[in-house]
Every structure is written in structure tokens, then in C-alpha cells.
Structure 1
Amino acid sequence: MARSGHRSRYTRYDGGPDPLAPPVDLAEALDAIGEDVMAGYSPERAMQEFLRRGGRDQVGLDELARRIAQKRRELLQQHSLDGTMQEVKELLDRAVLNERKQLARDIDLDDTDRAFREMRLDSLPQSPAAAVSELSSYDWQSSDAREDYEKIRDLLGRELLDQRFAGMKQALEGATEEDRAAVQEMLGDLNELLEKHRLGEDTQEDFEEFMAKHGQYFPEDPQNITELLDALAQRAAAAQRMLNSMTPEQRAELMELSQQAFGSPELMQAMSRLDDNLRSLRPGEDWHGSQRFEGEEGLGLGDGTGVLQDLADLDELAEQVSQSYSGARLDDIDLDKVQRQLGDQAAIDARTLADLERALKETGYLRRSADGQLKLSPKAMRQLGKALLRDVANRLSGRQGQRDVRQSGAAGELSGATRPWAFGDTEPWDVTRSITNAVLRSSSEGRTGPGVRLTMEDIEVSETEARTQACVALLVDTSFSMAMDGRWVPMKRTALALHTLIRSRFRGDALQLISFGRAARVMEIEELTALDPRYDKGTNLHHGLLLANRHFRKHPNAQPVLLIVTDGEPTSHLEADGEVRFSYPPHPRTIALAVRELDNARRLGAQTTFFRLGEDPGLARFIDAMAGRVEGRVVAPELDDLGAAVVGSYLGSRKGGRGPVGEHMGDWFGGRGWWVG
């Protein structure tokens, strides 16, 4: 079979996000969002703040906004708008100088004629535009002078066309009369097409016929009349803004000079007609804006229009990056404009931010509630809790992974013995013994050949010792002093870490989270994590202990574990009628009621640990006395170590002060200066 002559070409992928790129890493984003949520931000605002700040290796929106503002500032400080005028003046001065030289050395010229010509050159107006107009009928004696003067007309024509059609200045350099006639014909056909479109009488065939004839003038390669209109109107509006940005004198000079373009008034008429059509069809473009240029590098009309378009792009990008308008999304950012204005890497950074935002919503980490607000999903809470638990494990063990237990949901501790599997067993298989049984059985049956066939009779399971279940009540102080002294977020981190540990490693344990401020209440972890700092006057430990004891009574066969995190003495209590009574300094009745409920917890068998935050001597004396009354412990951790202290205390309580954690609890606390009672 004959080989095909087709040859494959491999080019850079340009069809959207790289399909081979690794997925975005959400771990850092989730950690940062979770921290902000626990500090009181809404999940939506927390996500926006992360996208603004960026991460360790990820540029954020603020940095993109800074680059946009810097690029805009550089354009305005670098350029001025008199480039074409300067070039016209240079050509004019050179033409006049060459003409004077020619008059001086032309011996065949009549003296009267020479004097008349010199007088005419001497009396030229100061205005370059007026001088060019005055010399339009001058009979040049110098061929070099005539060439320079014609260059002025050619330059003006190419610059005016370049304002409306990018690249025309270079394309028409050295153009013939036939080339100029072709441009004039294109303008005529374009105006007819636009006027037909304005009346609603055009067709796609009309557009395609126009592009087949004049497509070389439109490098944007529009596919329909709408795309053509957009490209033309955006550049024409930028040209008008450039004109608006000039001084009145510059503007007057340019308008007068424009009449000399190509020495053809028909060109200006066609351009004026084009502007009228574009204004009518695209009134929403910015036709009235202006900019203040302060630099010294002169811009020609075409280049200046390009810079005005760049400024418009930068202004649009600044608005997109600000995300300050209703319904804003990072997908709104025009990546092509970012790449054009700030470079490839900036476009990659912007695309990654959009991917992050999309992934956070589409992968289920953020979900929108019935009221339209974004919330951290249970999946996000688990991910955040795992990160916090890893940090706790590092602080507990001093090295990564030591506390990463692999017995999730096990029924007890392994005893080292095994037994045959029976229906209903949930203990883990002893794989080594099971395979050995299969090999021995196969050998006794005389089986040969590769592989081992495992039957139910071969399977043995590892025996476990019964493991005591725990009933845990974590009481966290939510009075205003916790937020005022920077303890709000560490408190939430602690609760989430303990919640994650129990839900993932000790699922048989019953955890209840109880907040106590002026009053106490049972809270789900999502509610506590999103709780805003508040001015809650009162520390109602009495009410919190009441709820904890109710929780313990619901689980009579479990070991009660009472963990109390606070930074203040009790200043409120719950009366029999349900009313809250507040008193500062603490009223004796408030203290007595708190002590009574603590005694009740002891009678229920609770192992109690107080976590004292702050250095208040009165608080220290009170907590020492409370802990001593119930043979409890007192821990005074640094804020960064609060989570590790609470989790460590819980693990030690589960083992009754024995085992790997319990054996080292005293040394660990004492070594860090935490054991105070």
C-alpha cells in the first residue's frame, strides 16, 4: 500500500489549560481558608483573601494588580503624543534647508525668482501644519527637498491609516499609487458593508466576499461582521482617546496636517465616514476618555493608538483582577490580554488562580447553602482537621508520622494471638498465618503447580483485647477575653484537631463540643469553627459542666473524659428558672454551683484536665483548687501547643495513664514547663 504523503506538524498547545499539567494543589489553599474562617471570616471572603494573597509558590491577585498598575504607570511616564509632529517637523526643516542650499548654488536661476522663493521660505508660518499647507503649491528646485516633502504626506497617510488598521504604517511604506488606490477601494467597500449592516441588510456572504477581497488588511482574522466591528471600533475609539489626550494646540495641528495625507482629501473623507459608522454601531466604546502622558519618547499616531489600546486593556484587567463587581469570577480574567500585557508567566499565574477557585467549588470543598452563602463542606472540614492533626502529631512526637496510627476503627488492641475466622468476625486477618495454612493444606492434598488457593478454612484473624470506649466532653471558653487576647483561633484549631482524631481513629468514642460564654451550648464542629468572635460578658462554667454531665450520663458504659479550656474564672451561672446570672468579681454562688457540677463529674468517673490560658494569678489559684478537688490535672500550654496538649491529654486518659502515651505524659509536659498542678 502506498504511503501517504501527509506529514504531522507539532506546535505549542494553545487550546486552553494544559491537559498534561498536574492538578492544582488545594492543601495550602484549604489550610489558609480554614485559618481565616476560624478567625471569623466567611468562607467566601476567606477564599477571596487567599486568592488575593497567593501562596508560597503561587502569585496572588494583589501581585497581578501591582504589575498591571506598574505597566500602566510606565507607559504614561515614558511616552508623549507628539511623535508624528516631531517627525513632520524634522522632514519639513530638512526639506526647507535642502531647498535653500539648492537656491544658493543654482547659478541658472533668475535673481528675481530666487529672491521670491527665498522670501516665501522666510515667511513660512511657525506652525508645521500651516507651513506644510503653504508649501503644497511650491515648485521645489531641489529633488531632495521635494522627496522630503512628499515623505511628509506619505507619513501622514500611513499614520492615519495605522490608527485604524494596525500594521498599515509598515505595510504601506514605499507604496505605489496602485497600493494607495487599493486602500481607498477597501475603505469604500468597508463603509458600504458597515452601512448595510447598520440597516440590517447584510449577510454572512457579504462579509465573506469582503474578506476574500480585502482580508490582507485585517490580521485579526475576524470570522464574522461582529468580530470585524469589535476590532475596528476598539482601535478607532483608542485613536479618538489619543486625540482627546493631546493639548488643544497639538490637536489643531494634527487636524490641519491630516488634510495633507497622501495629498488626497478623499482619504480623510473615507476615514471620517468610517468613524461615523463605527460610532453609530458601537456607541458603548469609550469615545470620550483621555490620558495624561508625561514622558519624552514621542509616539506616532499608530503607535500612540496602540498604547491607548494597551492602557484600555490594562484598565479592563485591573477591573477583572479586582473582582469587586457583582458576580465576579476569576474565569472573567482575559488570559490573552494578561499574556499580551504582562507575559506568559503572568497568564499561567492567572490561569492557576482560576483553576484553584474552580477546584475549590467543584471538588466539594466549598458549597453554597440555601441562603446563597459559601460554606466549608464536611469534606473541607476533614481535610483541614487532618492538617491540624498532623501538626499536633509533630508536636507530640517531635517527628513526622509517629502518631499516625493505622488502626482506624479497630475493635481493640492486638494481643499477639490468632484464631480461625468465624462468621461475623471484624478483627484483622493474620495474612502470614492464613497463607501458611493454605500452603500446608495444598501440600497435604498433593496439589502441584503455581499459585496457592486460599479457602475459608485457611483464614486466621488476630485476636484483640477489649478496648475501653471514651465519652469525651471538650469545654471551650468563648468569652470575649478569648478573642481579645488572640486565643480564639487556637481554641478552634484544638477543637477541630480533637474532633478529627476521634472521628477518624476512635470512632467508638463519643465527643461533645460545648462552648461556654455568658451561657453554654452544645455545638457541632462546623458551627464552632465558623463562630465569630463576640463580646460575651460572662464565663459560665457551671452551665458547661451541666451539659457535660448530661453527655456522660447518656453513655454509662464509656470512660468519661472532661477537658476544659479557659482563660478566666467563672463569672456567670444558670439559675433553676433558666435565667443566667452574671457577677464580677465572681459571686460565691457562681463558684459553688461550678464546684458542685465538677463534683458530679467526678462521681460519674470523669478524668478531668484543665487547660489554663494566660498568667492571671487568681485564675491559677482557682483552677489549681478545682483540679485538686477532683484529682485532675492542670496544663498551662503556650497557644501554639494547645492542640497538642489537649490531644495528648485525651490519648493519655483513654489509656488510663498507661501505655505509650500515658507513660510519657508527665515527662513531656514537665520537659516543656507545662505541668503545674
Structure 2
Amino acid sequence: MRYSYSGWDGTQEINPLDPSELLDLLADDLFQDGDLRSALERLMTRGARRPDGERLQGLRDLLEQLRSRRRDQLTHYNLDASMDDIREKLKGVVEQERQGIEKRVQDAGQSDAPQEIRDLLKQVADRKRQALDNLPPDMGGMFQQLLDYEFMDETARSNFDELVNDLRQKMLGNYFEGMKQGIQNLTPEDLAPVREMIKELNKLLSKHLSGQDTDRDFRDFMDRFGHMFPPEIEDIDDLVEYMQRQAAQMASLMKSLSDDQRSELQQMMEQLLRDDRLAWDLAQMAGLIEAITGEPLGRQFPFAGDTPLGLDEAMDLFGRLGDFDELERQFQEAMRELDAGHIDPDLAERLLGPEAAAMLEEVRRLTRTLEEAGLIRQGGRNLELTPKAIRLLGERALKEIFDELRSDRTGQHDTRLRGQGSEQLMETKQWEFGDPFLMDIGKTVSNAIFRSGPGTPVKIDVKDIEVYRTESLVSASTVIVLDMSMSMIRSGAFAEAKRVALALDTLMRSRFPRDYLELVVFSYFAVELKAGRLLQSDWSMNPRGTNIQEALHRARNLLNKRRSSSNRQIILITDGQPTMYTASDGQVVRGWSPYEWPRYSPEAMEETLKEVKRCTLDGITMNTFLMAGDPELVAFAKLMTEINKGRVFLTTPGRLGRYIFFDYLKGKSKVL
């Protein structure tokens, strides 16, 4: 089979995840710590491998694309040449002026003008040449003196005026987008409207900074000066955000230039204004913006490329770099707030392209998809799983465990079987009083014919009746006692045990509704849980300490409320020996110190074995699943079995579900 590939053109579709697939992607994290918010955050941030094999990119992947594109810009361009264009234009103006002077002198020498006029022109030309010869070598100084220089050549004057207007447009037009065209031919005297606007802007910003109501002031300001700003500015916050973005371009340029270049450009900017008040107002405006936002304007960018940039290109590039920084800020806020709605999709598409924008939209839909499917909901200030989601996760866990059982050929357990306390088998037996009347008609008739001989009608006696044997389903009450120690969490055993417990709860609800399941989770104390709460985090405890005694005590109390059950059992899942116990007064007694050896408590072991004996006297069976093979732990487990006559299984997280389910299902059946 041949495949053809093409670049992204916006017409391709990314198959959206359906809610159940999305829940599957969250499952492992949910079993790990039960924190839905953290699971969603990890999925949104890190992405995941989709069921179809494609990768769902997370915000971290898209953020790395963003950073990579910014690095490409910085490693491609060289900012050192940004002032060369101005320097070359200034040199061109000076050279044009020299040529113009020479032409004026030559033209005068060939004219019929009086000698006195020609001599006067020569004197002026000499002074002009001297002035040009004495121009400072630095660009800022040269620019300053040319501003006061009276040109003899009209072309040189025109070129210089064009340069001045261009620089003024870049400087002020950079702050005020709407002024870029209108400001090009302004003289210093024509800057009065600009001075007035900046003065009023500073008043507005000062009032906003002090926390006063500025709604009316903002409307009045925009009525007067709105033509100098983009139309999308609707309130004071939009105005501050816009001014911050615009001012940051010039600030970043200044910070990224070398010291000499920065000094030259600063000197030129001061001379362009020729107005100390306007310069001061611009500086005040920058300070107010920084005070309002709490962030410095612009930053230094480390350019390391070879491609030269002119000043025009540099200003455009700093605008893009500012957009990169803004989009990165939005990504970080989205990851922090677990809400991709903080990211501007248009900005993301402009900087990262349509494919990344489509991936971003997929991430944006994650939470909404789960909410609309009724799988998560807002519980107070946090998101929580709905009963529907917990049921689906239980069914998923149950299917996985049965798949594992089939792959190991340790048993074929078809969950489609139904029954009210018994299952019909293919074997038959002679009917006895009290048996379910599941008659095998063929064998019953055969028995009658064999007894009385052929002929009709066939006379059937009670002794002829053959019925199917049945498999009685024993009602069971089970408490899973689950160790939540740090070692269980680190090894993955705790997460696997939660998966098994939820799957077992699902099996009981669907096939064995008369059975009972409860959980007791313990570390230095114990808590009782329903299976559905396993995927919540509000019950989490400090995972230090192993109080098996209290956990067994709670499990025994729960099972003693179910004395009608014919089979009551405790499933203990642990990887450690007792290190503490709960005294009769309710106080937890620590019999072990992390700085002592051995790392278990003889007193806690003794109290735990007493509780095992109480369970035994109450007719409760204990089956222990050890998640570690330490000789001391195995020896302690054997002590419990000597008292209780239960069984011990040495297993691993990957096989825990198979062991528990096989043992549970095997214990359900007794052939009658």
C-alpha cells in the first residue's frame, strides 16, 4: 500500500475524541491519585496517545513549538546591522551635500554673476565643507548637528527631512498605531496634538492606577483621540494592554542593542522630539504602564544569527517577539488554571499555523466534552466524576482484568451469564425434593421407557425425573483492606489495587447483586470507603505508617453487620508489616521509628495478631495478597494464616487483579 503526504492546508480534519475515549485517557492518572483536576491538567499539559495511535498534543507540546519558532527567529537574525541603514543614509546625505556644494561653486564659476557674489558663495561653501568635515564620527552626534545644519543642496535636504520624518514616525507611530500615517510629515511645531493626547493619556492612566473609576474619563478620552488607536479598544484594560504591547517593542529594541547603538539611538530620539516636555511625558507614560501591569516594558533578546536587519524589519520583528511572549504567557496561564480558553486562538494560528491551532481547539474541548457527556460536573469549587463516569471506569477495569485472565488461560469468565442465585449446568441428576425443577425431558422420557418398556402413553414416575444440576452462587460479603503506604504508592500497587476494587464492585453490581463490598484504606489510621470514592481525593491521608490492626478492626465491624452472608472474607493487600496500632482509648501508638531497626513494631504485630484472632472467632476468612517478598513480611503473613486458616498470595501490581478475581470467582461456586 502506498501513502501520499502533503502539508497542512486547513482542510484536513482531526478526528475528535469521543467522551469514553477521553475518559480512558484519564483512567490511569485517576487510579493513581484520584484527583480529577490533576488528571485533566496532565492530559491537557502533556497530551496522550489516542486509541487510533495518533498523538493528542498537549499544551506543553504546543508551547515547545512556540519556543522553537522564537529560537529560530533569534538564531537567524543579527541586530547589529539595524542601525547601519540609518548610518548609511546619513553618509549618503553628507555625500550628496558635498556634491551639491561643489556643483553650486562650479555653476557659479561658469555664470555671469558678479565676482563678489561668486566670492561670497565660495566662502559659504568653505564653511559648509568645514562643518561637514567636523561632523562627529558617531551617528547620534552626526544626526544632532545635521538637524541644525542649513543645507546648500536641495536633494540632500529632502533626503535628510525624509529620514527625520521616517524616524519620528517609527518612534511615535510605534506607540500609537493610528498615527503611523498622519505623523510622517509633522514638524516639531505640528506635534501639539500629540503632546495633548499623551498628557491626557497620562492623566487617565494615573487615575486608573490609583483605583478610581475611569469609565467616563476613558469614554471622553476615546472621543477626542480614538482615531489614534485601533478600533477594538473598548475599555481601559484594553487600552493599557495595547499601550504595553506597543511600548514594549521600542523598549525591547533598546534593551537588545549594544551599549553604543543604544546610546546613538537614544540621542537621535531626543533630538527628534526637540521638546523636553514631550520626552518627559513619554517617559512618564512608560512608567505608569509598568506600574499598572506590574511588569517591566520589553526585555533583552539574544540574537545570534547572520541575517542583517534594518530598523524597519527590527521593529516588526520585535512586535512578533512580543506576540511570542504574550502567547507563552497565555499558555502558562492556561496550564495553571486548567482552562485553554485563556489562549487567543487567532494569535496561536498566526504564530504556530493552522495545524497547531486545530490541535489547540482539540485541547480546548476536553473539559467541555466530558461535561456535555455527563461524565464530570462542578462539585463546589472543584470538578468531580459523576456516577456515570465511575461506572464506565469500573466496566473498563473489569474488561481489562478479564482480558488478562483469558490471556493467562487461568479461567474463562463470561460476564454475560445471568441468574437468580444459581446457574444451570449441562450435567443431570435424579430429582430430589428441594431441587430446582429444571427437568431434562429427553432423559426423563428415556428413563420411563427403560423402566416400563415401549408403548404409549409413556407413564412417568417420580423416580424417572432427571433434572439439570445447578451451580449455587454463594452470597459473599467482602471487605478489601488496602495499604496506602508510601511504598505502595511508589510501586504502583496502590493504583492497581484501586483498579481491582472498582472492577470487583462493578462485577458484583452486574452479576452478583446480592454480594456486598466495602473498602478500608489505611496508613497510620484507617478510613471506610465505598468503591466509587476511590477515584476522589478528599479522603487522602498521610501515607506514613502501617496500622493493619485498626484496618482489620474496622473490616471486622463491617462484616459483623452482614452475618447473614454465607461467606464473609477480608482481602488484605499490603507490602509491609505493622508499625503501629490503635489502643483501646482510640490513640494511635507508634511502635516503630524510621531511625531504628528492625523497621516494624513487635507491639503492633502482637496487637494485629490479636485482631486476626478476633476475625477468626467471628467466622471471617482472611486472604492476604503480599506486594513484596521480604522474608519478615512473608513470615508475618504465615503467622496470620496459622490463626485464620486463610491463604497468602505473593504477587505483583501487574498480576494482582488476576489473582483476586480468579480466587473470588472460584469461591462463588459450589456444584449441587
TM exceeding 0.5:
yes
Native 8 Å contact 2:376 2:383 kept in 1:
yes
Which of these residues, 289, 292, 299, is aligned with residue 291 of structure 1? 299
Task: Please state if 1:163 is matched with 2:180.
Answer: no
Deviation at 1:534, TM superposition (A): 1.5
Native 8 Å contact 2:331 2:340 kept in 1:
yes
- How many aligned residue pairs are there? 578
Task: Supply the AA of the counterpart residue of 1:648.
Answer: F
Shift in alpha-carbon separation, 1:294–1:203, aligned structure 2, 3 A: closer
Question: Which segments of 5 or more consecutive residues in structure 2 lack a partner in the other structure?
Answer: 1-8, 50-54, 110-118, 205-213, 427-468, 592-599
Aligned counterparts of 1:288 and 1:516: Cα–Cα separation in 2: 51
Task: Please state if 1:544 is matched with 2:552.
Answer: yes
User: Which TM-score applies when normalising by structure 2?
Assistant: 0.67
CA deviations 1:432-469 (Å, max 9, x no partner) are xxxxxxxxxxxxxxxxxxxxxxxxxxxxxxx9987443
Deviation at 1:650, TM superposition (A): 1.1
Native 8 Å contact 1:98 1:142 kept in 2:
no
Deviation at 1:566, TM superposition (A): 3.3
Native 8 Å contact 1:518 1:540 kept in 2:
no
Match of 1:284, SS? helix
State the partner residue of 1:128: 139
Which of these residues, 543, 558, 562, is aligned with residue 534 of structure 1? 543
Match of 2:548, SS? coil
State the partner residue of 1:616: 630
Which of these residues, 554, 560, 572, is aligned with residue 562 of structure 2? 554
Shift in alpha-carbon separation, 1:411–1:595, aligned structure 2, 3 A: closer
Shift in alpha-carbon separation, 1:578–1:155, aligned structure 2, 3 A: closer
Shift in alpha-carbon separation, 1:405–1:287, aligned structure 2, 3 A: closer
Aligned counterparts of 2:295 and 2:480: Cα–Cα separation in 1: 65
Deviation at 1:498, TM superposition (A): 1.5
Shift in alpha-carbon separation, 1:259–1:411, aligned structure 2, 3 A: same
Shift in alpha-carbon separation, 1:61–1:157, aligned structure 2, 3 A: same
Deviation at 1:163, TM superposition (A): 1.5
For residues 307-326 of structure 1, the aligned pairs below 5 Å read 307-323=317-333
Aligned counterparts of 1:518 and 1:134: Cα–Cα separation in 2: 82
Which of these residues, 604, 612, 635, is aligned with residue 649 of structure 2? 635
Aligned counterparts of 1:410 and 1:510: Cα–Cα separation in 2: 16
User: Which TM-score applies when normalising by structure 1?
Assistant: 0.66
Which of these residues, 232, 247, 268, is aligned with residue 237 of structure 1? 247
Amino-acid identity (%): 25
Aligned counterparts of 2:17 and 2:223: Cα–Cα separation in 1: 43
State the partner residue of 2:264: 253
Native 8 Å contact 2:496 2:656 kept in 1:
yes
Question: Which segments of 5 or more consecutive residues in structure 1 lack a partner in the other structure?
Answer: 1-11, 417-462, 660-677
For residues 7-26 of structure 1, the aligned pairs below 5 Å read 24-26=17-19
Native 8 Å contact 2:524 2:547 kept in 1:
yes
Aligned counterparts of 1:320 and 1:310: Cα–Cα separation in 2: 15
Native 8 Å contact 1:195 1:277 kept in 2:
no
Moved more, 474-483 or 329-338: 474-483
Aligned counterparts of 1:576 and 1:277: Cα–Cα separation in 2: 72
CA deviations 1:28-74 (Å, max 9, x no partner) are 66456554454446443343333322222222233344344445555
Deviation at 1:507, TM superposition (A): 2.1
RMSD over equivalenced CA pairs, Å? 5.4
Task: Please state if 1:352 is matched with 2:350.
Answer: no
CA deviations 1:281-321 (Å, max 9, x no partner) are 99735795342243266655555454444444444443433
Task: Supply the AA of the counterpart residue of 1:254.
Answer: L
Task: Please state if 1:507 is matched with 2:513.
Answer: yes
Task: Please state if 1:474 is matched with 2:480.
Answer: yes
Native 8 Å contact 1:188 1:270 kept in 2:
no
Native 8 Å contact 2:165 2:186 kept in 1:
no
Match of 1:556, SS? coil
Match of 2:292, SS? coil
Shift in alpha-carbon separation, 1:645–1:150, aligned structure 2, 3 A: same
Task: Please state if 1:490 is matched with 2:496.
Answer: yes
Shift in alpha-carbon separation, 1:569–1:519, aligned structure 2, 3 A: same
Deviation at 1:615, TM superposition (A): 1.8
Aligned counterparts of 1:202 and 1:150: Cα–Cα separation in 2: 37
Native 8 Å contact 1:317 1:334 kept in 2:
yes
Task: Supply the AA of the counterpart residue of 1:48.
Answer: E
Task: Please state if 1:378 is matched with 2:371.
Answer: no
Aligned counterparts of 2:485 and 2:494: Cα–Cα separation in 1: 9
Which of these residues, 82, 94, 97, is aligned with residue 92 of structure 2? 94
Aligned counterparts of 1:182 and 1:414: Cα–Cα separation in 2: 102
Deviation at 1:646, TM superposition (A): 0.8
Aligned counterparts of 2:338 and 2:102: Cα–Cα separation in 1: 71
Native 8 Å contact 1:233 1:285 kept in 2:
no
CA deviations 1:184-242 (Å, max 9, x no partner) are 9999499679959969888989968988xx6xx86x54375769845762454225524
Deviation at 1:90, TM superposition (A): 0.8
Task: Supply the AA of the counterpart residue of 2:297.
Answer: G
Shift in alpha-carbon separation, 1:630–1:115, aligned structure 2, 3 A: closer
Aligned counterparts of 2:285 and 2:604: Cα–Cα separation in 1: 84
Native 8 Å contact 2:253 2:315 kept in 1:
no
Aligned counterparts of 1:140 and 1:223: Cα–Cα separation in 2: 47
Deviation at 1:393, TM superposition (A): 1.8
Native 8 Å contact 2:520 2:527 kept in 1:
yes
Task: Please state if 1:50 is matched with 2:43.
Answer: yes
Which of these residues, 57, 60, 72, is aligned with residue 58 of structure 2? 60
State the partner residue of 1:393: 402
Task: Supply the AA of the counterpart residue of 2:555.
Answer: L
State the partner residue of 1:330: 340
Aligned counterparts of 1:578 and 1:47: Cα–Cα separation in 2: 39
Which of these residues, 590, 596, 601, is aligned with residue 613 of structure 2? 596
Shift in alpha-carbon separation, 1:287–1:633, aligned structure 2, 3 A: closer
CA deviations 1:256-303 (Å, max 9, x no partner) are 545786xx979x999998998898899735795342243266655555
Shift in alpha-carbon separation, 1:392–1:328, aligned structure 2, 3 A: closer
Shift in alpha-carbon separation, 1:208–1:222, aligned structure 2, 3 A: farther
State the partner residue of 2:416: 406
Deviation at 1:93, TM superposition (A): 2.0
For residues 214-233 of structure 1, the aligned pairs below 5 Å read 220-222=230-232, 229=239, 233=243
Match of 1:512, SS? strand
Task: Supply the AA of the counterpart residue of 1:394.
Answer: D
